[in-house]
Amino acid sequence: MKILMLARSDIFSVPGGDTVQIQNTAQELKKLGVEVDVVADSKVDITKYDLVHVFQLDWIPETYFYVVKAQKHGKPIVLSPIHHAEREVKKFDDVYTFGLRRLVGLVVKKQEHRDILKNIYRSFHNKAKLLPTLKGAYFGYRKSQREALITSNIVLVQTNCEAQDLKTTYGVDFKWEKVVNGVSEQFLVSQAYQNKLGITNYIICVGRIEARKNQLTIIEAVKVLRREEEFKDIKLVFLGKRSEHHKSYIAKFDGALKENSWIVHPGFIPQEDIPSYYHFAKVGISASWFETTGLTSLEALFCGTNVVASGARAKELLGDLAVYCDPASVVSVTNALRQAYQRVVAPVPASFRQEYTWANAASQTLAVYRQLLKGGEV
């Protein structure tokens, strides 16, 4: 079995959550004896592959043209849309963007048109995006995304919420299966944790420094907490690179770092070292405006840390294991942090360590591939 995984043109130069998903799934599939090539070029020779697996639907102009090419050559098509709820994205764009993006949002109200402008802007930095962006704008972004959904033989979602959000956003029906992503091996195995910061009374947030991840609201919430006697000495730790595309937001973040000595930002930390940072934290928080799942929170739970999360997708995954907040409300984030800090650490069900692995994700994905290649319905 030879599989072609097609990704956005900047998947390697601008890594993100989809990069992690593709690389880990491909790696585990190879262990199962599957030949896998990960390609980010529409000119690839598709004829030598048995099946085409396309990743990303939101904001990615290349996806539709990948699907059209695969269909033209009669290849079975699997689509992993990694779709965000449009209502959450629009709310974020409406009320919490900075700089040029905020100005555009005040003038351009329709989310589809905002997405087109974002891709035109990105094309200045990545010429490979320019042609599919212009073609997509001419054809219609929503139309091309709908066509990609209904043309694919099967759509793999990470949550039931994602499937429903896709139907709501695009107004079409399609065949889908739920295949949950995994967490990296280092979060699943017992280990001797090392306290690399030398502190234990802290809240931690892991992720790229950018507006969507909502670090500034978290800072304001911790400021409020620190006025209370119980939390007067608590620190706030951020792990992650500064985004190159959110200069106004980064300037505000850097200003907060200078003004508040209780905020710690070691910068980018290798994935294998993150469990120790989680383990010694009192609370791990992800107060993002939108995410595909709550797997970063699950990683923190595996390391013995209570978590605060946001969004229906995280709630579907984590249930009662987390405390939830409204990312738009400092009061809500503050209250959630307080509650998570004071509660007993929630034990993670043993079944989670078998279910939420990349090996399991690859096994489920392979079952879908085999069914399609047999010519049957998934």
**Per residue in 28-79, pLDDT tens?**
999 999 999 999 988 999 999 999 999 999 877 789 889 999 999 999 999 9
Query: What pLDDT is attached to residue 116?
Result: 66
Give the 3-state secondary structure of residue 178.
Answer: strand
Could you tell me which residues are beta bridge partners of residue 203? 236, 283
Average pLDDT of the residues in 345-362? 91
Look at residue 378 and tell me whether its pLDDT is greater than 60.
no
Domains within the chain, CATH numbers bracketed: 2-87+121-182+357-373 (3.40.50.2000), 185-355 (3.40.50.2000)
- How confident is the model over 259-286, as a mean pLDDT? 95
- Evaluate if residue 101 carries a pLDDT over 90: no
Task: Please give the C-alpha separations between residue 115 and each of 35, 42, 59, 311, 327, in angstroms, as whole numbers.
Answer: 34, 21, 6, 22, 22
The 3-state DSSP class for residue 93 equals: helix
Question: Does residue 377 have a pLDDT over 60?
Answer: no
Enclosing H/E stretch for 52: strand 51-55
pLDDT bracket for residue 94 (50, 70, 90): confident
- Kindly state the percentage of the chain with pLDDT values over 90: 67
Instruction: Determine contact, residues 28/359, Cβ cutoff 8 Å.
Output: yes
Which residues, in sequence order, are bridge partners of residue 309?
324
Predicted TM-score (pTM) of the model is 0.87
CB 249 within 8 A of CB 212: no
- Is residue 55 within 8 A of residue 26, CB to CB? The reply is no
Q: Does pLDDT of 133 surpass 90?
A: no
Q: Are 75 and 51 in contact (CB under 8 A)?
A: yes
- Distance between CA 240 and CA 296 in Å, rounded? 13
Label residue 114 by pLDDT band (50, 70, 90): low
Tell me the three state secondary structure of residue 117. helix
Mean pLDDT value across residues 315-329: 95
Strand order in the sheet with 263-267: 263-267, 235-239, 202-206, 283-285, 306-309, 322-324
Query: Mean per-residue pLDDT for 196-206?
Result: 95
Q: How far apart, in whole angstroms, are the C-alpha atoms of residue 82 and residue 55?
A: 7
Element (H, E) at 177: strand 176-178
- Within its chain, how far is the Cα of 197 from the centroid? 27
CA-closest candidate to residue 265, choices 199, 206, 327: 206
User: What are 52's strand-pairing partners?
Assistant: 4, 77
DSSP for 242-291?
Answer: BPSS-HHHHHHHHHHHHH-TTEEEEE---GGGHHHHHHT-SEEE---S--
Mean pLDDT of all residues belonging to the chain: 90
Place of tokens 């209780």: 262
The answer to whether 286 and 307 are in contact (CB under 8 A) is: yes
Q: Measured at the alpha carbon of residue 25, what is the angle toward residues 316 and 15, in degrees to the nearest 5?
A: 85
